[in-house]
Amino acid sequence: MGETLLEARDACKVYRAGEIETLALAHIDLAVERGEFSALSGPSGSGKTTLLNLLGTLDRPTSGRIFVTGLDTTEMREAARAELRLRKLGFVFQAYNLVPVLSAIENVEFVLLLQHVDPAERRKRAQHVLDEVGLGALAEKRPNEMSGGQQQRVAVARAIASEPEIVLADEPTANLDSKTAEDLLDLMERMNRERGVTFLFSTHDPRVMARARRTIRLVDGRIASDERRRA
């Protein structure tokens, strides 16, 4: 057994709208270890994004507990959870979530700015990681001057620039054509292999599931299967 970075213990999530309750996740027990390249799969509405949001402390479980690097986040104040996200987690979203008025390098620097990294070091690290994802020459371009694939690479660069314990990626290939998606997966696999970055995806994309070394399938808010691919 390796080092556990994320863990859900008997986690449930219920959404309430007036008197109507919807059970989104039911009694989830899951541990994600350092170095994994894993995917949460399942049909739309199965609970993939909900579980990713709980593990990333973007939302709280209705019951059960969520641990990040051994820390019980369930009763943490929101300020402490935000600080934990800033220091421990990286996020890649389907819609990129880049700041439109900032250049590529400024978007990558943003988390480092929040971490109070020295400006010179911040710029150096941001440029280095943009070079790593193949966008060094586009450092001064704004999002509207880049393709969808380039914007998603900037999002990946932003996610790893702060050297998080784990990167959570919600449907990262959903808006990309096949070639761009494969290139992005090549990049993330290389980051996982060479830099030791741990990745957990939520996805229904067969291309992502084919690359994942572990696939956790959700059906109706429950874990239906948890399979590891042999090396």
The 3 state secondary structure assigned to 157-190 is: HHHHHCCCCEEEEECCCCCCCHHHHHHHHHHHHH
pLDDT at residue number 132: 86
pLDDT at residue number 231: 59
**What residues of the chain score a pLDDT lower than 50?**
none
pLDDT at residue number 179: 86
- Quick one: which H or E segment has residue 221? none
Q: Per-domain residue ranges for the chain?
A: 36-58+78-228
pLDDT at residue number 1: 62
36-58+78-228 carries CATH number 3.40.50.300: yes
Distance from C-alpha of 42 to C-alpha of 205, rounded to nearest angstrom: 10
Mean pLDDT of the chain: 92
Structure tokens at 228: 């590891």
